[in-house]
Amino acid sequence: MRTLKLLWQITIPSLRRLPEAVPSGMRRDPAPTLWSYRYQRLMLTPAYRRLVRIGLPSAVAVLMLGGWFAAPGNRAWLLAEIEAVKNAIQERPEFMVHDIEVIGADRALSVAIHGIADFDFPLSSFDIDLAALRDRVTELSAVRRAEVSVAPGGVLRVVVDQRKPVAVWRYSDGLRLIDAEGVMTGMIASRSDRADLPLIAGDGARDAIDEALALFATAEPIKDRVRGLVRMGERRWDMVLDGDLRILLPAEGAVQALQRVLALHEAQDLLDRDVAVVDMRLGQRPTLRLNQPALNVLRNAAASAGYAAPAAPIEEEQ
């Protein structure tokens, strides 16, 4: 309000006041005139002083720049200059990428990553979206995590933590490799390609991979005879040995049931006998099913003695 009042006092009505005439023979009063006094008082106002020193020059500069940018030719020239400077910086030799290096992946996964990072080298590192490339590499089922960076020497480096397969899963579409979390890491053409890994089969087998690995670890004493595990009804396992011998394990306590079978085998060579099935689904009543030759011998011996060979049918899984 004080500033407005001062501005009003120096408007045209105030400026029209004529200075008083100095009488002859008298010296002029050195005191400032009314206009000069009011102007000095106004310049002592902080807000007005900032307006004059900063505001007005800024407004003039903005108006000049606005007028210059209003011309389409000026805008196009400026954008072209900015683009030229940016390209000159980005295409310097120290920013160019000439090759890609994949670390931590096997040959098949490395080929897949090279297919994703199919860049036309040499390429400026500013033109590579490292975050997007990392996300695309991580989407591969065989990759747990990945890091992408530009290494010294112009090398695009991709470091991956590849999932390690722990078993082969036989499924309807072929043989899949799965890791300890049940995630598929790849496929193989034949069982011999990864004969070092145990075999599991059946619906829901990979969802129970933890229990399957525990069963394979328990069967270490007879690992040379183990052919694989079959998931039955998505709730329990059958262990298949050589000679089509099956150990039917319960849905609960499968590891303990297998330990009992191994203990019987160690004490009485159970698995070396003419047995086709060892049924441990009922823990309190283990059941054995003889193979056909042994069953024929038993029936013949029973018939010779005048007895009927007992047979207790084993219920099949639905």
* DSSP-assigned letters across all residues of the chain: -HHHHHHHHTSHHHHTPPPPPPPTT-PPP-SPPHHHHHHHHHHTSHHHHHIIIIIHHHHHHHHHHHHHHTSHHHHHHHHHHHHHHHHHHHTSGGGEE-EEEEES--HHHHHHHHHHT---SSEEGGG--HHHHHHHHHTSTTEEEEEEEEETTTEEEEEEEEPPP-EEEEETTEEEEE-TTS-EEEEESSGGGGTTS-EEESTTTGGGHHHHHHHHHHTGGGTTTEEEEEEETTTEEEEEEGGG-EEE--SSSHHHHHHHHHHHHHHH-GGGSSEEEEE-SSTTS-EEEE-HHHHHHHHHHHHHHT-PPP--PPPPP-
Give tens-digit pLDDT for 128-146: 899 999 999 999 989 999 9
172 and 132 both lie in a single domain: no
Is 21 or 235 the better-scoring residue by pLDDT?
235
- Segment 277-289 shows an average pLDDT of 88
Are residues 174 and 298 both part of a single domain?
yes
pLDDT at 318: 45
Considering the domain boundaries, does residue 121 fall inside one? yes
For residue 175, the domain's CATH number is: 3.40.50.11690
Task: Mark which of 138, 162, 186 sits at the end of a domain.
Answer: 162
CB-based contact 9:44 (threshold 8 Å): no
pLDDT for the residue numbered 32: 65
Q: Are residues 192 and 233 in the same domain?
A: yes
pLDDT score for 124: 86
Q: Are residues 195 and 300 in the same domain?
A: yes
pLDDT on residue 23: 61
Residue 248 lies in a domain: yes
CATH code of the domain containing 99:
3.10.20
- Does residue 131 sit in the same domain as residue 181? no
d(CA 129, CA 126): 8
Instruction: State which of 162, 180, 203 marks the end of a domain.
Output: 162
Query: Which of these three, 162, 190, 208, is where a domain ends?
Result: 162
- Whether residue 143 is contained in a domain is answered as yes
What's the CA gap between 134 and 149, in Å, rounded?
A: 9
Q: Is residue 105 part of a domain?
A: yes
Q: Above 60 in pLDDT, residue 97?
A: yes
Q: What mean pLDDT, rounded, does the chain reach? A: 83
> What whole-number percentage of the chain has pLDDT above 70?
82
Domain assignment present for 24: no
- Full domain range(s) for residue 194: 167-305
- Same domain for 266 and 188: yes
Q: Please give the tally of structural domains in the chain.
A: 2
